[in-house]
Amino acid sequence: MIQNAQDDSGPGGRIALRMTGISKRFGPVQALSDVAFTVRKGTVHALVGENGAGKSTLMKVLAGVYQPDTGSIEIGGKAMAFANPGKAIEAGISMIYQELDLAEDLTVAANVFLGMEPRGKLPMTVDHHKITEDTGELARRFNFDIDPAATVADLSTGDCQIVEVLKAMMRNASIIVMDEPTSSLSEREAERLFEIVRDLRKRGFSIIYISHRLEEIVDLADDISVLRDGCVVHTGSADHIDIPMIVHHMVGRELKDFYPERNVQIGGALFNADKLCSDAGVKDISFEVRTGEIVGMAGLVGAGRTEVARAIFGVDKHTGGTLVLDGKELAIKSPVDAISNGIAYLTEDRKRTGLCLELPCSWNITLPNLCDIGMKHLISPGRETRIAADYGSRISVKWSSPTAGADSLSGGNQQKVLIARWLLAESRFLIVDEPTRGIDIGAKKEIYTLLNQLAEQGKGILFISSELPELFGVTDRILVMRRRTLVGNLKTKDTTPDEVMHLAAVEEH
Amino acid sequence: MNKLTRQLLPFGTLVLIIVALSILRPETFLSLDNFLNVLRRTSMPGIIALGMTFVIVSAGIDLSVGSMLAVSGMIGGLVMSKLTGANPAVAAIAASFLTVFAGAVCGLLNGALITKLKLPPFIVTLGTMSAFRGISYVMNDGQPYDMPTYRYLGEGLIPLWKTLEVPVAGQFRPEVDRILMPWQSVDLETVAQGSRIVPHGIPISILIFAVIIVLAGFLLKYSRMGRYTYAIGSNKEAAFHSGINVDLNLIAIYAITGLFVGIAAMIQNSRTVSSQPTAGIALELDVIAAVVIGGASLSGGRGTLTGTVVGILLISFLRNGCTMLGISTNIQLIVIGAIIIAAVSVDQLARSKAESGTGG
């Protein structure tokens, strides 16, 4: 069945994909202009750029979702034109999107064979036995440890990606596009994914790898292309480029101090959790956050970091322990109580638990704050828009107008709208959960700076993140979670990423 | 197609229908009486559609409004039948009050079941649609209650002027002889035999409809509850994480809808001078259609009361026009069905165009 991509002399020799002169315009926006993009066979080619630089558009052109205005695509030396995504799949192109698109209620095998199921003995039936067998066989060939009969909804994000890879293999893909594959993976799952990518490369597949995480890109990629404002500003071997150079190409300027300088005076106790337990399973969580302090929280996915935030914010039910803010013991039963006591929670999934996407940005900003801005009984739209515009401009949100729909903004600006929401709430204690996930490097830096400014104003911040570099870049102290309990409370300047990782990942017996 | 033209589309269609009918049937269609008649008929489903707008904006649905209309109407009829000896005005007020109250209780029950049992609104209201209908049949063994003195809401007018109409030889209809102010009167003995005085003005039911449009419009646009309705419909989880009491708001939304249904039941009873256990069968379909034609999204977060009013007027004038053109009610169903699908697909087309325009 499917082994390796067509045999070849080895990496570097032949060209798997050549896109030349690709231009695409949406109304007034020139999304791509005269883009040339070449992927050598059997290599990993990283595609980087800020949000809105044109990466997704270029990949959608490749996948047949968009038709380019000009330009040509060659696969293995043959000119191609993809009228629709089906044609691109036939030509051996497989996309693995950031938001995986799997049928959650079906089994792994059914997903892998989706749309190409072998006929069963009776007409209109599927040979479930055969698809399970074949999927298992395929998984074994790639050394994937996955149960073909498992339901996708029960799998971790990392396992779902494996299903996507299997799907691609089943469709004879030779070029695999991975869009931000590690953005929602724990470090350990990410490591496993890197192994898979390296293995695929060895077997002669070509991989286009899109990521905001530059560390992993320089580690993994053979070639790197940088897009900026719809143009390729750099393309070449990964051996001759380092992270500062990539950043330089991406933003068009040097980002000398990527993390803001911290010289905040840390004050007295602001927030204190004592032996906090919740019905989501976190137990005996005790820690303190002082005024002006940014406390990081590290841990693998599933370690219970978000659950701690949810317990403090009243989303999950407390089953024990006490919370104290400003010397006052809090009784928090729901987010209503948490907000009125001055706690803010920037959730990890801004689309699911943060924004009302089709509503205006201004409404999103004022949503929890209507009473505080004197609109308990009567909303005054004019004043509301002015308040939103004011808070938006303080953190330089880029929008066409404060009343534009939140869905018209880029990821980084959506995140800023949510930050504006909590700025307006004048919360004393902020919990930010993966605030920089999936946003571009420029916006990341702005968010770090903003958190730093908030700390300078005497607020306390609990910063949950899966990216150790940013935790080390911005925090004063790092809490480490493992198996829903707190296993470390370290001063950032006295510890190392290795120590944090060890605490988060290694069981002690 | 931008946002504005999208919103203006149903309104444009309504205007088009009115203009077309005015040209095709200038005599019968284009008269004040006919317009008032259409509006009077619209008031009952219209008031319910206003409540349904809140429900649909909150990403819910209420299939039980038709049955609720019957149940709350029957409660009113029951009260009237028990108070036959009392002063008719007192009985009418008591019946009206309990009709509205019954509607609100039914709505409250829907809201409580949806939030406390965490069931989808579709399922809950599918159940109560059947149950409420059953109750309305059980109440008087499937028979209506007659309410002979309950006329004011159906027939009453805010008087603006009166006409004296006198018979003309050789003509079937009497003709207007002169126009009188409400306070003027004519001794009928002094004019030709068979003359009559006809009062004109704004029917009470239309006035109630107008008042509720203003109130509900205010509630949806300028109150926190209205704002939270949009937020819950757009993203319930985000609303919850923003400190909104989602359950309380949803209960309020369904209770308000019930309250509006109660008011509509009152008008319906008065128009038929009885309460019918069969009232409002398939009413929910017209009401939901009006809200959707008006631009609301069944997935929530989108919709306006102006849109809904245009939607329900569009359906009413279409019905009226079809009748005037001699098109059978069966064909009307087909036309209305086609309009619903056309309205939603135009909307969808505009949305997908807007989305593909922001790629990159």
Region B65-69: mean pLDDT is: 98
Angstrom distance (rounded) from CA B285 to CA A389: 42
Closest CA to A270 of A429, A425, A426, A423: A429
* B135: closest CA of chain A, how far (Å): 38
SS3 A310: helix
Q: Can you tell me the distance from the alpha carbon of A119 to that of A141, in angstroms, rounded to the nearest whole number?
A: 24
- Measure in Å the smallest separation between the Cα of A305 and chain B Cα atoms: 17
**Minimum Cα–Cα distance from A347: chain B residue:** B241
B353 in A contact zone (CB under 8 Å): no
Residue A52 is predicted with a pLDDT of 67
* Other CB atoms within 10 Å distance of the CB of residue A356: 26
Q: If we measure between CA atoms, which residue out of A358, A283, A302 comes closest to residue A186?
A: A302
Q: Do A367 and B227 touch (CB under 8 A)?
A: yes
Which of A31, A359, A381 lies closest to B359 in CB terms?
A31
Contacts of A25 (CB under 8 A, 6+ apart): A31, A69
- Assess contact for A269 and A288: CB atoms under 8 A: yes
Does A375 sit within 8 Å of B224, measured CB to CB?
A: yes
Of residues B139 and B187, which shows the higher confidence score?
B139
3-state secondary structure of A85: helix
Helix/strand/coil for B146: strand
Phi, psi (rounded to 5 degrees) for A114? -55, 125
Q: Answer whether B243 sits within 8 Å of A335, measured CB to CB.
A: yes
**DSSP notation for B262-288:** HHHHHHHHHHHTEE-TTTTTTHHHHHH
Cα–Cα separations (whole angstroms), residue B192 to B116, B139, B167, B169, B322: 68, 50, 7, 11, 38
Is B360 in Cβ contact with A56 (below 8 Å)? yes
Are B208 and B186 contacting, i.e. CB atoms less than 8 angstroms apart?
no
Which member of B234, B240, B244 has the closest CB to residue A357? B234
Interface test with chain A among B223, B230, B242, B304, by most A beta carbons within 10 Å: B242
**Average pLDDT, integer, range A184-204:** 86
Residues of A whose CB is below 8 A from B360: 24, 26, 29, 31-32, 52, 54, 56-57, 230
Nearest to A339 by CA among A422, A270, A419, A450: A422
Q: From the CA of A46, how many Å to the nearest CA of chain B?
A: 18
In chain A, % of residues over pLDDT 90: 50
What's the whole-number mean pLDDT along residues B30-51? 92
Alpha carbon A357 to its chain centroid, in Å, reads: 18
pLDDT band for position B82 (50/70/90)? very high
| Chain B partners within 8 Å of A63 (Cβ) | none
Residue B359 pLDDT > 50: no
Q: What is the pLDDT of residue A51?
A: 65
Tell me the mean pLDDT in the region B274-286.
94
State which H helix or E strand residue A78 sits in: strand A78-80
Amino acid of residue A352: R
CA A363, A369, A370, A374 torsion: positive or negative? negative
Annotate A311-345 with three-state secondary structure: HHHCCCCEEEEEEEECCEEECCCCHHHHHHCCEEE
- Of A259, A205, A164, A199, the C-alpha closest to A8 is A205
Fold of A259-342+427-509: Rossmann fold (3.40.50)
Indicate left, alpha or beta for A339 from its phi (over 0: left) and psi (-120 to 50: alpha).
Answer: alpha
**Residue A253: its pLDDT value, please?**
55
Nearest Cα residue to B246 out of B125, B126, B116, B128: B116
Residue A436, exposed/middle/buried by CB under 10 A (0-12, 13-18, 19+)?
buried
Percent of chain B surpassing pLDDT 90: 61
Structure tokens at B41: 């008929």
Strands A78-80 and A285-290: unpaired
Residues B309, B328: Cα–Cα separation, whole Å: 25
- CATH number for region A15-252: 3.40.50.300
**Is the pLDDT assigned to residue B333 strictly greater than 90?**
no
Q: Of B223, B241, B360, which has the smallest distance from its Cβ to A353's Cβ?
A: B241
* pLDDT of B1: 46
- Between A507 and B183, the higher pLDDT residue: B183
CA–CA separation, A444 and A60 (whole Å): 25
DSSP A492: G
Q: Tokens 């209780």 — which residue?
A: B105
pLDDT band at A4 (very low <50, low <70, confident <90, very high): very low
Asked if the Cβ–Cβ distance from B231 to A367 is below 8 Å, we say yes
Listed residue (B194, B190, B200, B201) closest to B165, CA to CA: B194
Residues with Cβ within 8 Å of A55's Cβ and at least 6 positions away in sequence, in order, are A47, A48, A49, A179, A210, A227
pLDDT of residue B6: 67
The CA distance from B185 to the nearest CA of chain A, in Å, is 47
When comparing pLDDT for B319 and A157, which is higher? B319
By residue count, chain B amounts to: 360
DSSP for B80-103, written as a single string: HHHTTTS-HHHHHHHHHHHHHHHH
**Minimal-distance CA residue of chain B relative to A334:** B243
Distance in angstroms (rounded) separating the CA atoms of residues A463 and A471: 8
Comparing CA positions, the residue from A295, A492, A358 lying closest to residue B235 is A358
Element of type H or E holding A446: helix A441-456
In chain A, ranges of CATH 3.40.50.300 domains: 15-252, 259-342+427-509
| B283: amino acid identity, one letter | L
User: In a 10 Å sphere around its CB, with 0-12 CB exposed, 13-18 middle and 19+ buried, how is residue A287 labelled?
Assistant: middle
Contact B237 A52 (CB under 8 A): no
User: CA A356, CA A344: separation in Å to the nearest integer?
Assistant: 17
Nearest one of A30, A53, A61 to A233, comparing CA atoms: A53
Q: Which pLDDT belongs to residue A211?
A: 84
Reported confidence tier of residue A27, pLDDT bands at 50, 70, 90: low
Go through chain A and tell me how many residues it has. 509
Cα A414 to Cα B326: distance, rounded to the nearest angstrom = 55
Residue B120's SS3 state is coil
* C-alpha–C-alpha distance, residues A428 and A446, integer Å: 20
Q: Is A107 within 8 Å of A152 (Cβ atoms)? A: yes
Per-residue pLDDT of A457-492, as tens digits, reads: 999 999 999 878 889 889 999 999 988 899 999 999
Nearest CA in chain A to B220: A379
One DSSP character per residue, A346-393 reads E-S-IIIII--TTSBHHHHHHGGGTTTTT-SS---HHHHHHHHHHHHH
Cβ separation B243–A27 shorter than 8 A: no
Q: Which of B2, B235, B299 to mutate to test the interface with A (most CBs of A within 10 A)?
A: B235
Q: What confidence category does residue B337 fall into, taking pLDDT thresholds of 50, 70 and 90? A: confident
Q: Residue B252 contacts by C-beta under 8 Å, 6 or more apart in sequence?
A: B111, B225
CB count in 10 Å sphere of residue B170: 5
Q: How remote is the C-alpha of A306 from its chain's centroid? A: 15
- Which residue among B237, B245, B302 sits closest to A336, beta carbon to beta carbon? B245
Closest residue in B to A338 (Cα–Cα): B243
Q: Chain A: which residues have CB within 8 Å of chain B?
A: 24, 26-27, 29, 31-32, 52, 54, 56-57, 60, 66, 230, 313, 315, 334-336, 338-340, 345, 347, 352-359, 363, 367-368, 370-371, 375-381, 408, 421
> What is the per-residue pLDDT across B146-205, written as a single tens digit (0 to 9) for each?
998 898 888 888 888 888 888 887 777 777 888 888 888 778 777 777 788 888 888 999
Q: Which residues of A touch B298 (CB under 8 A)?
A: none
Cα-Cα-Cα-Cα dihedral of A106, A107, A109, A112, to 10°? Answer: 50
ipTM: 0.88
Residue of A nearest to B219 (CA): A378
| Contacts with A, B 245-284, CB within 8 Å | 245
Average pLDDT, chain B: 90
Q: Which of 211-240 (B) contact A at CB < 8 A?
A: 221-224, 226-227, 230-231, 234-235, 237-240
Query: Position A120: which residue type?
Result: G
| Average pLDDT of span A194-208 | 92
Which chain B residues contact residue A370 at CB under 8 A?
224, 227
Residue matched to tokens 């004048």: A426
Q: Which of left, alpha, beta for A438 (phi over 0: left; psi -120 to 50: alpha)?
A: left
Q: Could you tell me if B296 lies within 8 Å of chain A, comparing CB atoms?
A: no
The CA distance from A461 to A474, in Å, is 11
What pTM was computed for the model?
A: 0.79
Residue A73 contacts by C-beta under 8 Å, 6 or more apart in sequence?
A: A17, A18, A19, A22, A61, A62, A79, A80, A81, A82
Size of interface A-B (CB pairs under 8 A): 97
pLDDT value at A127 more than 90: no
Interface test mutation site (partner B, options A313, A334, A347, A356, max chain B beta carbons within 10 A) = A356
**CB-CB under 8 Å, B358 with A367:** no
Cα A359 to Cα A355: distance, rounded to the nearest angstrom: 8
Of the listed ranges A376-380, B142-146, B191-195, the one predicted with least confidence? B191-195
Helix (H, G, I), strand (E, B) or coil at A140: helix
